């Protein structure tokens, strides 16, 4: 079964504004923390230009130099078969190309990240545990899904494409991933990466075919609410050691594709659980700020780290009444503004 896309999916659709990048084009070496950005989930196909272009201007005004654009395909649940793109829930190729081009005009590097979401998950299901009835058919759908966005990203001249995000149960199929990467490389000439789950990056067998290692950062960093910056820094130490040793062994630059914590008291205890304490309080906003401060104390200037993407910068969110991940109009935003404005280290990172 072919991937179902409820909008035009022809190669280069709606984005014939520039020649695609060549896969063999020389790429400059990244420097430490060179990619400093925020993520936008492009979760609506309606009024996408009016909704998302203003966010790009806000991100540029913060001082960021990179934006990650997350676009979705859907499965009904973890054991269903097909992947489909719903035009109501993701921008059209024309609109996605326009968003990438506007980001480039603002001086922002662009990373496109296709993500598989579950429309009606059963119990605690998430994309890391998918198990379709027919894997061969699922991989055909998945290659079409990534290829669709590779074509749009290539024509719009995005800087990088992430070929998958947190698909833990699929990572055992190394040969299928190698095929996806090879086909994506043929269609897209920018850098390629994969976004691993924070606790499952070591078993992956295809890092050598990618340009960078991506991973999320939802580690437990406290046992109870109210942890100090110093205590959080100490809890980061073993994770930093493991991650940096791994990146050095692989010889690849590292990008944290999702760095973020809800503005909830106790966010450090289960950063992935945004349902844990669904209310906004001054304590929660301060805990988020401390987590941002601690992260930068640990990671800023790390020679293995090529970039940090903070999660996230959504439309119509933020401020005193918001308990979600965004730092918008919260104390954590000021932490980001200072970091974005700081001089960039000169040390090169890994191999391009």
Class of domain 26-219+237-260+299-314: alpha beta
Confidence at residue 30, expressed as pLDDT on a 0 to 100 scale: 82
Q: Which of 228, 214, 224 is nearest to 30 (CA)?
A: 214
CB atoms within 10 A of CB 289: 20
Band of pLDDT at residue 217, cut at 50, 70 and 90: very high
pLDDT in tens, 144-191: 999 999 999 999 999 999 999 999 999 999 999 999 999 999 999 999
- For the chain, the average pLDDT equals 90
CB atoms within 10 A of CB 78: 19
Q: Which residues contact 123 (CB under 8 A, 6 or more apart)?
A: none
CA-CA distance, 6 to 17, in Å (whole number)?
Answer: 23
Band of pLDDT at residue 1, cut at 50, 70 and 90: very low
Cis peptide leading into residue 312 (ω within 30°): yes
pLDDT in tens, 76-129: 999 999 999 999 999 999 999 999 999 999 999 999 999 999 999 999 999 999
Band of pLDDT at residue 31, cut at 50, 70 and 90: confident
């Amino acid at each position: 079964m072919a991937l179902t896309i409820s909008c035009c999916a022809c190669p280069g659709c709606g984005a014939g504004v520039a020649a695609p990048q060549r896969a063999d084009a020389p790429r400059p070496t990244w420097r430490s923390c060179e990619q400093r950005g925020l993520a936008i989930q492009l979760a609506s196909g309606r009024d996408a230009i009016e909704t998302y272009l203003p966010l790009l201007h806000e991100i540029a005004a913060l001082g960021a130099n990179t934006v990650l654009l997350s676009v979705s395909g859907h499965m009904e649940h973890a054991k269903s078969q097909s992947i489909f793109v719903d035009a109501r829930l993701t921008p059209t190729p024309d609109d996605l190309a326009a968003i990438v081009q506007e980001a480039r005009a603002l001086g922002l590097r662009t990373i496109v990240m296709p993500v598989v979401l579950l429309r009606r998950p059963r119990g605690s299901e998430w994309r890391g545990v998918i198990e379709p009835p027919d894997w061969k058919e699922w991989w055909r759908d998945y290659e079409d899904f990534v290829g669709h966005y590779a074509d749009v990203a290539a024509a719009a001249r995005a800087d990088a494409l992430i070929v998958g995000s947190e698909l833990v149960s699929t990572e055992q199929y190394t040969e299928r991933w190698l095929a996806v990467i090879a086909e994506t490389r043929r269609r897209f000439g920018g850098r390629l990466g994969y976004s691993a789950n924070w606790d499952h990056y070591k078993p992956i067998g295809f890092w050598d075919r990618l340009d960078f290692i991506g991973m999320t950062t939802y580690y437990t960093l406290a046992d109870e609410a109210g942890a100090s910056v110093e205590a959080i820094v100490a809890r980061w130490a073993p994770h930093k050691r493991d991650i940096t040793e791994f990146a050095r062994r692989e010889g690849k630059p590292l990008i944290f594709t999702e760095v973020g914590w809800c503005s909830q008291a106790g966010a450090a205890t289960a950063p992935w659980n945004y349902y844990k304490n669904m209310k906004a309080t001054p304590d929660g906003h301060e805990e988020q700020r401390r987590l941002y401060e601690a992260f930068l104390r640990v990671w800023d200037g790390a020679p293995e780290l090529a970039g940090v993407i903070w999660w996230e910068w959504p439309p119509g969110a933020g401020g005193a009444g918001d308990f979600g991940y965004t730092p918008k109009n919260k104390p954590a935003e000021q932490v980001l503004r200072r970091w974005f404005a700081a001089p960039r280290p000169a040390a090169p990172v890994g191999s391009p």
